[in-house]
A = this chain, B = another copy of it.
Amino acid sequence: MTPELTEQPGRRGRPRDPGADRRILDAARQLLATDGYEALAVDRVAEHAGVAKTTLYRRWPSKAHLVIELVADLQGQVRLEETGDLRNDLTALVRGITVRLHAVGAALVADLAAAVARDSSVALGIRELFKAWRGAAITILWAARDRGDLPRASNAEILVDQLVGPLYYRLLITGDPLTPEYATRLVDSVLGTHEPTS
């Protein structure tokens, strides 16, 4: 996840300042929190980080790339505790996403999506992150299907889209609030509200 190269042992030349990455990200994070994406000026990030602009651009080829990684960091690892109870696991997952999306905010997500759409090279980082999440969710669903908690025919990919997609839809398009209850209702709708027999 480090910007560019994974710092092989047999590196030549002056090594990169290991603190610079962190200082830049910190500065960007802070400015992002206060000013938002639009107002996030690269010059200011560099200055704030005590770093030359060139140093920043050596690591991230554009403002968008930087922010992408920043958000990826913010989102953190996929922490996915499977309890074996499908409904609980899914609800936990979707609620987690809900909380994080809400924290990041509509403007930032939208701006990032725009950056991604404009420059496909930006997409790489962010897509990787999303894929990790999707993968986790799909794993949950497959396990459930194998246990018989889900119909044989169900398509895990689609189900995940229908769990996660609405969150982005609300956040970016309709503007409706993202609440934990909404997350619950999404899961309910996918699994069926009626108690799973019991």
Contact = CB atoms under 8 A, between A and B. Distances in A.
Given A161-B170, A162-B189, A189-B155, A113 B106 contact: yes
A117 interface: yes
Interface residues of A, number: 44
Residue from A127, A154, A165 having most chain B Cβ neighbours under 10 A: A165
Given A113-B110, A117-B105, A162 B190 contact: yes
Q: How many copies of this chain sit in the oligomeric assembly?
A: 4
A155 B131 CA distance: 29
Contacts of A168: 165, 168-169, 172-173
Consensus secondary structure, chain A interface: helix
Contacts of A154: 189
A164 B111 CA distance: 21
A193 to B, nearest CB: 6
A86 interface: no
A182 B105 CA distance: 28
A110 B116 contact: yes
Interface of A: 36-38, 105-107, 109-111, 113-114, 116-118, 123, 126-127, 130-131, 134, 153-155, 158-159, 161-162, 164-170, 172-175, 185-186, 189-190, 193-194
